[in-house]
Chain A
């Protein structure tokens, strides 16, 4: 599913001390749940952004679904993100002026692969909201929701276009223990359905739910371990 070879990411100048990632080699197969761990500044989020095609300035090779992302045009990369990848951010990334259901339907605006009518989009969004347990808040604006509810909306939005890969950046970072636990259960359930999960986290509970732990330090992979079930 994901293949990284000798991936190096530099910020600013070419000096070695400003390298965010250094010679990363990583393979993630479909259906895996990988937790990316490491201290702040170790390059976890940078790695996630490279996999999601949000960051194009790197050396080496990043392939998703056997497609090398580097030569893709901006449009082709956007289509890949839209059809294959779902993002969940620590701070939710919801558009405050759109209702919950409109936020969930947003990825459909950029996906040309699936032609949906407005009614079909609404039905799909409501099904997803039902699944994450906040269908009753469909008409609400995000600022009226709690952190946990917002993150559930963000997960529902990430699932709108049936992505095969879910990239989560600190999905429980802004949530309390109980709310975080419910989000972790939701992600586990999605992984059980075959969605590949790559989660950047500091949360030990999230890490413990992942089958594979990849630990980064100073932009290098220092541990890549698969937990026994």
Chain B
């Protein structure tokens, strides 16, 4: 049969019988719409929860540990001990396919206290400091500091060779014995205000009493998610009935300096060495930073850990943060991490479980949508059976005029494909429209942390897949009636 004639016959047939197919087509349309809606919602929620809230692409690897009553231990009587997290482990983890960067992390292993914030908050706040350290060069190589300038995220006490003082970064730094070092400074009397003592050095540098030298501030990174949490929840909770705290922007916070006492906090005082005071300056916001607290250069943390807890503590790594830019690589990366004898931190385990849960819920909702389409396809079967029965004589005439069984089958299937295409396209449109309406309705909801601009994320494949699904369902639904029509005895139909 000629294609043009086939199309023409099908178009005329559909135009004549459009009402008969509306109910089934509507079912397909609704099914595809809900499929698109739920997949879009699932992807959107996955993006917000995994990418923004839980930052799934940043997997934290730790040593395997075991529950031993109220404690977690690295091994039980020497059994089950896992490899140490050292340079070799970092190199092995960095070598996993899909890992863009491996960031070794070390936590502060002693108490510390931070004070400051008057310039922004109108009052000084004093709080226990939670901090960890990452290697600046690792952060720079990862996606965890996208858009962040890391030129100031360097250890101020790191050796810096020089020939003369002009090669040193200023702020009281001079060239002595071939390396940059802070100017000598004298501690102010004990009864002087701490800020007066620290102002004894030029520029941003402050006098490190224990060293008798001016030191530039220790740079720190903060998590953008912490800022989000502060602005959305903490700002109202902490304001109380008194003076309200302001909402903060990254640009307002960058440059903020606080005075940190290492070795002494609210929880106690380190017995390993006397406390020291340093200035810490916020230099940026990056995903690589610890969620609650500040992230310092790794060498600073290791040096401080060694000072307060001995040389061995200075070499200790507490975890390795893996940068896995493509979330679809995560299952394979996680599997290889476990193969190396390590495990994920509780947070990363939660991420994995959350990802699984979201995928499961999305799959279930998609299954329901698929069932709607399948039911519609059954309706399509029924509609086509009726149509074929009603057109029995007409189809017999076409056979008498030279149509082969395959022509009749092609006609019926093409009708189904066109209905599927039209209802599928309508479904895609309806699904997208429903998502838009849901987003508009969500704007009326109160703000909450990480509230996205849209709850939906439609992957590109959803459009051809949705259309293909609708066409396939309709063609499948019409296949049995098409076969029946093709096999019908024309002589019998003409004589009926």
Contacts and interface: CB of A to CB of B under 8 A. Distances in A.
A109 B404 contact: no
A118 B494 CA distance: 29
A4 B396 CA distance: 24
A95 B394 contact: yes
Given A74-B404, A81-B402, A89 B494 contact: yes
B12 A110 contact: no
State which size class the interface on B falls in: 20 to 34
State which size class the interface on A falls in: 20 to 34
Contacts of A55: 489-491
24 contacts: A45-B495, A46-B491, A52-B400, A54-B396, A55-B489, A55-B490, A74-B405, A74-B406, A75-B406, A77-B404, A78-B405, A79-B402, A81-B402, A87-B400, A95-B394, A97-B12, A97-B16, A108-B5, A109-B6, A109-B9, A110-B1, A110-B2, A118-B4, A157-B401
A17 interface: no
Interface in A44-77: 45-46, 49, 52, 54-55, 74-75, 77
A97 B9 CA distance: 10
Contacts of B12: 97-98, 102
B349 interface: no
B5 A81 contact: no
Interface in B1-22: 1-2, 4-6, 8-9, 12-13, 15-16
Contact of B5 (A45, A109, A161): A109
A110 B401 contact: yes
A218 B491 CA distance: 19
A100 to B, nearest CB: 14
Contacts of A98: 12
B399 A107 contact: no
B235 interface: no
Nearest to B406: A75
Grouping DSSP codes into helix (H, G, I), strand (E, B) and loop, the B interface class, with mixed when no group exceeds half, is helix
Interface of B: 1-2, 4-6, 8-9, 12-13, 15-16, 393-394, 396-407, 489-491, 494-495
Contact of A82 (B4, B396, B402): B402
B485 to A, nearest CB: 13
Contacts, number: 83
B401 A107 contact: yes
Interface in A71-116: 74-75, 77-79, 81-83, 87, 89, 93, 95, 97-98, 102, 106-112
Grouping DSSP codes into helix (H, G, I), strand (E, B) and loop, the A interface class, with mixed when no group exceeds half, is helix
B402 A49 contact: no
A95 B391 CA distance: 10
Interface in A201-228: none
B2 A112 contact: yes
A98 B495 CA distance: 22
Contacts of A95: 394, 397
A43 B15 CA distance: 39
B406 A81 contact: no
A160 to B, nearest CB: 9
A80 to B, nearest CB: 9
A20 to B, nearest CB: 10
A40 B405 CA distance: 30
A78 B402 contact: yes
Given A87-B400, A97-B12, A97-B13, 4 more contacts: A52-B400, A78-B404, A95-B397, A109-B9
